[in-house]
Amino acid sequence: MTNKVVVLGSLNVDTTLHIAQMPKPGETISAQSKTNSAGGKGANQAVAAARSNAVTSFIGQVGNDSAGKFMVKALEDDGINTDHIKVDHENGTGSAVILLDEQGQNSIMVYGGANQAMKPDMVADCEDLIKHADILISEFETPQQVTYEAFKMAKHYGVTTILNPAPASTIIDGLLEVTDLIVPNETESATLTGIEVTDTASMDKNADKFTKMGIKNLIITVGDRGAYYHTPNDSGFVPAFKVHAKDTTAAGDTFIGALSSQLKKDLSNIEEALVYAQRASSITVQRLGALPSIPTAKEIADQSK
C-alpha cells in the first residue's frame, strides 16, 4: 500500500541558535553557533511522509525571494510535487528563529509571511490534486479558512483529513466537522478542550470533549512518554521509544508525516501506524535541525530490527 498524501501547510527557513540554556527575561546571552535549514510544520510533515515512501504533494505559498526558491528546491529534492506552491509578490517567505539549549529543548518564534497570506480561493486550483489523494494534512501555520475549504473538498471526494492544531488557537466553525482525525500534543489539546492532560483518565476526558465538538478520532502526543489514541471503536496508549534527545525540533511533524504514510483511510490500523510514527520521531530527536533530522523508511525499518 502506497498512500497518496497531500500537505497543505507552511514553508519556513529555520535559523537555529544553539545556546547553553534559555535566557531569562531581560537577559542577553551568547549563542554558541548558528545553523540555517529548511523547515515549517508543513514542509517537515511532507518530507516525513515522502521519506516513508508516500507519494507526496504540497499546497502552499512562498515569497518571491531566494528563501522561497530554497524551500521549493528542498521539497523537490525529496521527490515532493511542488506544482501547487504559489509565489506571493507582496510577502516574504516564512521564517522561524529557534532557540535550542543543551538539553535539546527549544523555543520557536515564527514569522508567517507568505504562509499567512494564503487565500481560500487558492484551493479551487488544487481540486484535481485533492480528489486523487488518500490523505490531506493541514496545521495552523496557514489560515484556517484555507484549510476549511480544502477539507470540505476532500470530504466531497472521500479523502481522509488530518488536522494538526499547532500552534493551538480557537478553531473556526465548521472545520472539525470536515476533520477525520485531530492530532494535538498535550498542551494543544488542553488549550482546545480546557482539560489539562495529566494521565489516561484526563486524556479520555479530552476525547469526550472533542467528540462533543464534532471530532470522533483523536491522537494526543505526549512527547517522550508516547501517544494516546481514541476512535469510536478503540482507545489506548502507545509508549515512546526511549532515546537521548539532542533536538526536539520537527519531532511532532515527523510523527504526523510518518503516520500518514502508513495509515489506512478508514484508520483501521491506527495502533500499528502509531508505532511506526513513534519510531520515526525517536530517530528525529537524536539529530539536529528540522528537515535534515527526518528519517527514511529504511532507517525506520533498521531501527525496528
Q: How far is C-alpha 70 from the chain's CA centre?
A: 20
Cell of 136: 490531506
Which residue bears the cell 504540497? Answer: 58
Find out whether 225 is annotated in a ligand binding site. yes
Find out whether 68 is annotated in a ligand binding site. no
Find out whether 284 is annotated in a ligand binding site. yes
Write down the catalytic residue from 121, 253, 266, 302: 253
Find out whether 128 is annotated in a ligand binding site. no
Phi/psi of residue 70, nearest 5 degrees: -60, -45
Find out whether 223 is annotated in a ligand binding site. yes
Positive or negative CA dihedral for 171, 14, 197, 242? positive
Find out whether 221 is annotated in a ligand binding site. yes
* Cα torsion through 54, 60, 65, 66, rounded to 10: -10
Find out whether 44 is annotated in a ligand binding site. yes
Assign 3-class secondary structure to 92-124: CCEEEEEEECCCCCEEEEEECHHHCCCCHHHHH
Look at strands 4-8 and 55-63 and give their pairing: parallel
How many CB atoms within 10 Å of residue 301? 13
Find out whether 279 is annotated in a ligand binding site. no
Find out whether 141 is annotated in a ligand binding site. yes
Find out whether 224 is annotated in a ligand binding site. yes
Q: Is 83 a catalytic residue?
A: no
Please give the annotated binding residues for K(+), written as ranges: 247, 249, 284, 287, 289, 293
Binding site residue list: 12-14, 40-44, 141, 185, 221-226, 247, 249, 252-253, 284, 287, 289, 293
Q: Residue positions in the annotated binding site for ATP?
A: 185, 221-226, 252-253
Residues comprising the binding site for substrate?
12-14, 40-44, 141, 253
Q: Which sequence positions are flagged as catalytic? A: 253
